[in-house]
Structure 1
Amino acid sequence: MSTRGAALRSLLAPALLVLPCLAILIGLGAWQLERLAWKQGLIATVEARVHQPAQPAPAEPDWSGVTYDADEYRHVTATGRLHNDKEVQVYALIDAAPDGSGGGPGYWVLTPLVQPDGAAILVNRGFVPLDRKAPATRLEGQVDGPMTITGLLRMPEEEGLFTPENDPAKDTWYTRDPDAIAAAKGLLRVAPFIIDADATPNPGGLPVGGLTKVTFPNRHLEYALTWFGLAATLVGVFAAFAFARLRRPRDDEGTAGLTASE
């Protein structure tokens, strides 16, 4: 067997190791490009929905057809009476405090808005700081009488990996789950979505609405370039390795020739 042939054979095992790794890196880059297209579409959709004129929130007969894709962040309005005695407070950590002084912990105030036909929609009326959790500390905001709420339709909030579980028995809430809240408060005919109220001021200044985040991180192009860059680096390293491995036999043959001529 020639020295060159042996060198080529010695590249087989490294190549079999490199090819799957290269395929994985390219696949991850392509996946991030797909995610980029999805995220850009989501951003465009949300941007369009939040600036559309407010439409009536889906009526009870249409609740079963409400979905994330078709309805999340729709600009909606609903009229009814707030049942303040069934309010819940959901722990929140916001990026910007209501006065613009910075982020901090507090609570979203969720209150059932019971419509004239008896159906209810949970309304996220806005944010209150930790020391204003108790309704008694913000009595002016406990509005009574018919009112119209305008805001963004939001679907139930999913638990994150590090989000504590809701504890309805202790009235402790970490996620906005309409079904769980309705069951805990004895509410019937509750919509499977929530309305995040807009920034219309509430009496007494609390809760503070209009804090819904409608911006989304979009680093998928950066991630895609990273994966493709790693793939290119892997190709370059293997090429350098192969070049060195194939060059060695030629050097050895040249050295042997010089030795023989001497």
Structure 2
Amino acid sequence: MTLAGLAVLVGLGLWQLERKAWKEALIAQLDRRLSAAPIALPPPAEWPRLRVGDSEFLRVRLTVQFANADDALLYTGGSPLRDDIKSPGYFVLAPGRLPSGEQVVVNRGFAADRTYPRPSGSLDIVGVLRWPEAPSWFVADHDSGGSIWFVRDPGKMAQVRNWGPVAPFYIEQESPVPEGGSPRPAALKVRLRNDHLQYALTWFSLAGVLAAVFAVWWSSRRRANEPAG
């Protein structure tokens, strides 16, 4: 039983070290994407073939014209990807029409309140391609009116806000910054937790404790079985 327990604990420690290496590689990959020069947004014909792992945090450039539609305001109390957000407020998401006619939802940036200017005409944007968040069983997607949102889901937003068909992804705008500074876009910084080394050390420590306890037990048992005298 002790050997089986040691094998399990050591195995869990080694698995955490593998997870640590995987997480470090993922962080390095996303950092490279966010520091790379932007490329043209993939054309609509390629959208069905895009995969999350290959395109998440890809920097892109695109030209859009924002429709005269009601924005979706995504509530935020602060963002791990944005150091500049120090207070609660909203991310302003709006549908932008591409020159080809398709629509893509753009997170135009952070607004401290619900008063901000709307852009007019065509706008050249640099941003980051992102994919929708998974819905939560414990958090509603939006308020009863559909104007305040709690989950980033451009498809659901488009349905509730009557925007029409939109791309399966959305764009986090980096630039340009609008006159007046609201909503305020900014460059993103990837911050993924990487606690796997601590977890590995915990499992290895437990394995060491188990081995020490077994050694003490085995030693005391041997002494007890030694003949007297």
Decide: shared fold, TM above 0.5. yes
In structure 2, the gaps of 5 or more residues are none
Distance 1:24 1:160 in 2: 33
8 Å CA contact 1:86, 1:112 repeated in 2: no
Answering whether residue 171 of structure 2 is matched by residue 187 of structure 1, we say no
Distance 2:123 2:175 in 1: 15
For residue 54 of structure 1, what is the aligned residue in structure 2? Answer: 38
State the shift of 1:207 in Å: 0.9
For residue 228 of structure 1, what is the aligned residue in structure 2? Answer: 204
Q: Aligned to 1:128, which of 111, 117, 122? A: 111
Structure 1 runs of 4+ with >3 Å offset: 159-162
**Closer, same or farther in 2 for the Cα pair 1:160/1:26, shift >3 Å?**
farther
| TM-score computed with the length of structure 1 as normaliser | 0.79
SS of 1:190's equivalent in the other structure is: coil
Distance 1:107 1:248 in 2: 71
State the shift of 1:95 in Å: 4.8
Give per-residue Cα distances to partners, 1:152-199, cap 9 Å, x unaligned: 11111124575x121375213111112111211223331111111115
SS of 1:78's equivalent in the other structure is: strand
Distance 1:226 1:165 in 2: 36
For residue 167 of structure 1, what is the aligned residue in structure 2? Answer: 142
Identity, % of aligned pairs? 36
State the shift of 1:25 in Å: 1.7
**Closer, same or farther in 2 for the Cα pair 1:70/1:40, shift >3 Å?**
same
RMSD: 2.3
Structure whose CA Rg is larger: 1
Distance 1:161 1:241 in 2: 48
| TM-score computed with the length of structure 2 as normaliser | 0.90
In structure 1, the gaps of 5 or more residues are 1-15, 258-262
Give per-residue Cα distances to partners, 1:24-44, cap 9 Å, x unaligned: 322221221121111111111
State the shift of 1:126 in Å: 1.0
SS of 2:169's equivalent in the other structure is: strand
For residue 248 of structure 1, what is the aligned residue in structure 2? Answer: 224
**Closer, same or farther in 2 for the Cα pair 1:236/1:212, shift >3 Å?**
same
For residue 45 of structure 1, what is the aligned residue in structure 2? Answer: 29
Q: How many residues align?
A: 228
Q: Which residues in structure 2 correspond to 1:79-228 (within 5 Å)? A: 79-95=63-79, 100=84, 103-129=86-112, 132=113, 134=114, 137-139=115-117, 142-159=118-135, 164-167=139-142, 169-171=144-146, 172-210=148-186, 212-228=188-204
Distance 2:24 2:178 in 1: 34
